[in-house]
Each structure stands twice: as C-alpha cells, then as structure tokens.
Amino acid sequence: MKTLEERIRAQIATTGPMSVADYMALCLFDPEQGYYTTREPFGAAGDFTTAPEISQMFGELCAIWLYTAWKASGAPGNPILAEIGPGRGTLMKDMLRTWAKIDPAFSRQMRLYMIEASPRLSEVQRKTLAASGASPRWITDINALPDGPLFIIGNELFDAIPVRQYVKTDSGWRERTVGLDANDRLSFMAGAGAADETLLPPGAKEAPPGAIVELAPARNALMTRMAERIRTEGGAALFIDYGYAKPAPGDTLQAMRSHAYTNILKDQGKADLTAHVDFSALARAARNEGLAAALMDQGDFLIGLGILERAGRLGADKNGTEQQAIRNAVERLAGPEQMGTLFKVLAVTSSTVTVPPFVSPH
C-alpha cells in the first residue's frame, strides 16, 4: 500500500496544489491512513495530553458548570448531555461520576450522547465508560441528536478542524497551498485563489509580504449548527481550546508527534495537525443566532469554579508526594505560564441566562 505522503504527492501531481485545509483533512481524517483513524493520540504514550488526562478535577468542574447551566435554564426534563470529539472518554467518565454524586435524579433522566466520527476512538470510549453505569449512545454527527434541550461540551474540538490559510503577496492575499517544488518535494506556496478581504482580521492591510492569515469557515459552520440547535431546542454549550480572543495575522499551524513539534509537511497521518482557534469568530457565529457568548481564560474559569478548594479536599488524606502531584496538576491546568492563559473557555447560552463564573454572557 502506498503511504499517505505518496498518495498526497500523486494527487498534487495529477490535479495541482491543494489547499492547507484539504491537506489537513487528509492527514487527520483519511479513512485508511489518517491520524485520528489509525493512531492513539492521547496521553503520555501518545502525541499530546489533554486537560482531562492531567487531572480528574477538570472533568469534575466542567460537570458542575453544565449542571449549573441546566438549572439556570429552568432544569428542563430529559435533557440531552453530549460531548463532541470525546477523545478517550476520560472527560465524560469524570463528569458522569460527578453528576451521580451531586444529583442522582439528574443522572437518571438525562439522555447521554457521544458525537464521534472515528470508529476506533468510539471503541476506546466504550471501554472507558463501560463501568460508569451510564448508557451513552454514539452518533457521528450532531444532526443525529434527538429533539430536546441540549447541553454540550467540546474539549480541544475546534483546533483539529481544518483551517484555510492565506499569504500576503505582491498581488494581494492568495490562498496558501501545498504543492511540489522544483525538486519534487512538498512545499507551501501561494495559490491562485484570493481571500475575501472583508473576512480578513484587523492589521491584514498593513501586514508585510509573506504574512499569513487563517480563516476557518468549517469551524464557524459547526458552531452555527450547534447554536441553531440551542436556539430552537434550548440548552447551553461549553468549548475549551487553545486560541486567541482577538484575530490578527499569524501562522499557528503546527504538527505534534510524541509530545514534540515536527515538520508539518512530513509524518503525514502520524502527527497531529492543529491550528489555534479564533474564539471571536466562534462567538460571533453564536451571537448571530441570538445567543449569548462569553469568553474567559481556562485558568480563571477553573479557579472561579473552585479548583483550588477541590484540590485541597482531594489531597487532604494523601501523602506528600500525592499532594504535590495534585498541586502540579492545578498549576498545569490553571497556571498563567501553562494552560491557564493559552487555553480559553467559551460559554454559549440563551441570552437570558448567566452561568458563573462568567459574569455576563453578553
């Protein structure tokens, strides 16, 4: 069988350079050799570690926020609780345990859905949740959810959705593509497609030649679909990812393998490709549907929900080594030099609902 790189090179040789978005999609989601369809990306043995894998406290606090959002929404009966892009299922496992403790009646009435496109990851999630006592259903698309109020969470969801890049040239902004150079090697280049300049971020006009901007129509479309659903059926959403609150020119595309950065144009299907999330665009998509969208740093979110107090209780009967591990986890999740400021939390709710620690959803 040809490698994924060989297939990409053959496709380019036949049809010409492909967009960065198409290249990302092939590397990540190719049915036979894509990263998420063939590899175990999460945890110490994988290529990156997500917040739920660092500490149970992350999932516990997310569960409290979703439960509070449900109560603030009038505690509708038979709510749908869903996770989109559930990874190994660790976040849901910790949330289920928390809900069972704080309100068993809520746990019994909720309808649980896992939205996962990868059959391989779905099996991993089934094993993770096998002892939870819950009966989740797996679907591959949000449109397959039944009617009803939806309370949905996505952790590190949007960063893996392909972005389009545009490069500043002497003739304006042109879509950045992946093609073959004079030596028949994969290379970035400027394509023929032009950017819609009304969509470019502030500062794009003054950017120097060679500058990069990123637009993510696929991300915005997914947010719009979820916002439409919440607008019509009720509910709330919580999304956590690394990204920026205000867009600006810059190249954030990166490849990770074995917890280290690697060449974006190598290791196709063996490395994770991501780009930072433009939260202002996601918030705008939600507000366009009449919803409220509030953004804060992950550190402020977790501290506001009581991670310091939870860490104290969790470590109360532990030895010194275990207590230090808990403190390290808090620092990693909420510290300003680590995930605390790089990661953002976006809450999407009805315009009449405010869920702490967000002061105002507007």
Structure tokens given for 143: 């449109």
Q: The tokens of 108 are what?
A: 């019994």
- pLDDT band (50, 70, 90) for residue 168: very high
Q: Are residues 61 and 302 in contact, defined by beta-carbon separation less than 8 angstroms?
A: yes
Would you say the pTM of this structure is higher than 0.85? Answer: yes
State yes or no: pLDDT of 204 exceeds 50: yes
| Arithmetic mean of pLDDT, 300-317 | 95
Q: CA-to-CA distance for 206 and 200, rounded, in angstroms? A: 11
Q: Is there a domain that residue 14 lies in?
A: no
Summarize the confidence of residues 333-359 as an average pLDDT.
Answer: 94
Range of the domain at 251: 41-159+234-349
Q: pLDDT at residue 361 above 50?
A: no
Task: Give dist(CA 181, CA 349) in Å, integer.
Answer: 48
Q: Is residue 121 part of a domain?
A: yes
Contacts of 312 (CB under 8 A, 6+ apart): none
What CATH number is given to the structural domain containing 328? 3.40.50.12710
Task: Give long-range contacts, CB 8 A cutoff, 24+ apart: 266-271.
Answer: 266/5, 268/3, 268/4, 268/5, 268/8, 268/26, 268/27, 268/33, 269/3, 269/4, 269/27, 269/30, 269/33, 269/34, 269/35, 269/38, 269/39, 270/35, 270/39, 271/27, 271/35, 271/47
Model confidence band, residue 286 (pLDDT cutoffs 50, 70, 90): very high
Identity of the residue numbered 275:
A
Would you say how long the chain is, in residues? Answer: 362
Domain count, the chain: 1
**Which of 22-26, 41-45, 115-119, 135-139 is predicted least confidently?**
41-45
Q: What is the pLDDT of residue 48?
A: 65
pLDDT for 1-30, tens place per residue? 899 999 999 999 999 999 999 999 999 999
Residue 204 in any domain: the answer is: no
Which residues are registered as beta bridge partners of 176? 190
Q: Determine the pLDDT at residue 362.
A: 43
Whether the predicted pLDDT of 329 surpasses 70: yes
Distances (CA, A) of 334 to 204, 301, 316, 338: 32, 8, 20, 7
Q: Regarding predicted confidence, which is higher, 199 or 44?
A: 199
Question: Residue 174 domain-assigned?
Answer: no
**Cβ atoms within 10 A of the Cβ of 191, count?**
18
pLDDT digits (tens, 9 = 90+) for 91-100: 999 999 999 9
On the question of pLDDT at 120 being above 90, the answer is no
In a domain, 192, yes or no: no
Query: Quick check: is 178 in a domain?
Result: no
pLDDT, mean of residues 203-227: 95
pLDDT score for 300: 97
SS (H, E, C) 88-148: CCHHHHHHHHHHHHHCHHHHHHCEEEEECCCHHHHHHHHHHHCCCCCCCEEECCHHHCCCC
Task: Give kind and range of the element (H or E) at residue 3.
Answer: none
**What tens digit of pLDDT does each residue of 231-260 get?**
999 999 999 999 999 988 999 999 988 878
Is 196 part of a structural domain of the chain?
no
Q: What is the pLDDT of residues 27-63, one digit of tens each?
A: 999 999 998 888 776 655 555 689 999 999 999 999 9
Residue with structure tokens 């433009």? 278
**Within-domain flag for 10:** no
